[in-house]
Amino acid sequence: MKVRLDAVMAEIAANIDANLVEYDSNFALLPRFNRLHFIFCSLAHCDIARAEKSGGRKVIRWRPSHRLKDCVGLKPRGIPDEFERIEAPTAITTLADEFEEVSQTMSGPIEDTAFGVLRRFAMYEMGLLEYRGKKDGLCQFYRSSKRKHENTADFVGKYLA
């Protein structure tokens, strides 16, 4: 099913997905829409994402959790929300079970990745970074040419990595 993802949630999920596939290349055999199902379940478990449902049990949108409502960078102007196919696996496979187990046990790295993405979006909102589109499914940010302070360059250089 196609689900609307908040731009920040889409970026967090893409980063986690890339990290998990890099961690174990066998996970690339599991379709992306199944991996995203487990990733968003993990994000909900860590209270980073929340699902909005309409009518029955179907999720129609993933948004940041209420815990993050005061974080700077959650309203990224100019970065559109995304639509992704997200589905639970219909046949339980060993690989899906293993992926779910790994994604559930990695709450520390998942939170680190999520807050790293939030930091980049906050810097974008403050004008320290410029959004230059997506490459390989991930947002590309560059130092803003509009703000020229030596402290700003140090700040961006330190936290952009």
Query: Which residue is associated with the tokens 């940010």?
Result: 141
**Domain spans of the chain, in order of start:** 2-159
pLDDT of the residue at 92: 64
Distance CA 146, CA 130 (A): 9
Give the model's pLDDT for residue 56: 67
Look at the alpha carbons of 146, 151, 154, 155 in this order and tell me if their dihedral is positive or negative.
negative
Looking up tokens 């995203």 gives: 36
Compute the distance between CA of residue 124 and CA of residue 140 in angstroms, rounded to an integer: 11
- For 43-108, what is the HEC assignment? HHHCCCEEEEECCCCCEEEEEECHHHCCCCCCCCCCCCCEEEECCCCCCCCHHHHHHHHHHHHCHH
Q: What is the pLDDT of residue 69?
A: 81
Quick one: pLDDT at residue 17?
92
Q: What is the pLDDT of residue 161?
A: 45
pLDDT in tens, the chain (161 residues): 889 898 999 999 999 999 888 888 888 888 899 899 989 988 988 899 998 887 666 778 898 898 888 888 777 777 888 899 998 887 767 777 777 777 777 777 888 889 899 999 998 888 888 888 888 888 898 888 776 555 555 555 555 54
Alpha carbons 92 and 90: distance in angstroms, whole number: 6
Residues 39 and 9: beta-carbon distance below 8 Å: no
Token pair for 111: 């939170």
* CA 100 – CA 106 distance, rounded (Å): 10
Structure tokens at 149: 């302070």
- Residue 13 pLDDT: 93
d(CA 74, CA 56): 28
